[in-house]
Amino acid sequence: MKRLAVYCGSATPADPIYLDTARAVGRGLAERGIGVVYGGGRLGLMGAIADSALTAGGEVIGVIPQALVDAEVAHRGLTELHVVPGMHARKQLFTDLCDGFVTIPGGTGTMDELWEALSWAQLGYHTDPVGLLNSAGYYDHLVAFWEKMGEVGFLRPQHRDLLIVDPTLDGLLDRMAAHQPTQPIIRMQVSDL
């Protein structure tokens, strides 16, 4: 994996565990020689991941909609900053620029990005690994929901392993490196659906 899209929040929660996690991820990816592709912001976890990766000598590529540039939240010290017209173009460029996806704690936008990466993998629009860093148990309920979708039949058995979960960055990256693409929906027979 040469570059990973990192999905995370632009907020700064009161509990320092979340900023610490973002900084550790940025530093950890840079130390492994893995570039960061992220939302291009300077605030919250986004800014922390970018700054820590840059400080560690890593490549950091931001992809930000023009509206957020206009709101003056763009990080101007990145390796590259791509300004796009909107969120759809942003997520497409994330996919084009990366070899996988890592989600760390975040909110609504982070969830939108994670679910789209999973949906596109399930459909077959990409074959890259989709990782979830479950730092401090932040995503315990989401992981339980993912499992519930499988239990009731909304998630096909061949797609249950699309979401790769680990509580540590090293464990997550190792599991993502071992990822094997599954049979996507676009290659299934109607009888398999």
Residue 137 has pLDDT above 70, yes or no: yes
Cβ atoms < 10 Å from Cβ of 50:
27
Find tokens 């459909």 and name the residue: 123
pLDDT value at residue 126 = 93
Across the range 81-90, mean pLDDT stands at 96
What mean pLDDT is reported for the chain? Answer: 94
d(CA 181, CA 51): 32
The rounded Cα 127 to chain-centroid distance in angstroms is 14
Q: Which domains does the chain have, with CATH numbers?
A: 3-192 (3.40.50.450)
* 156 class by beta-carbon count within 10 Å (0-12 exposed, 13-18 middle, 19+ buried): middle
Reduced to 3 states (helix: H, G, I; strand: E, B; else coil), residue 118 is: helix
d(CA 42, CA 37): 13
Segment 34-67, tens digit of pLDDT: 999 999 999 999 999 999 999 999 999 999 999 9
Q: Which phi-psi region, left, alpha or beta, contains residue 94 (left: φ > 0; alpha: ψ -120 to 50)?
A: alpha
pLDDT value at residue 193 = 59
Segment 120-133, tens digit of pLDDT: 999 889 999 999 99
The model's pTM: 0.93
d(CA 109, CA 8): 8
Longest Cα separation, the chain: 52
Across the range 120-148, mean pLDDT stands at 96
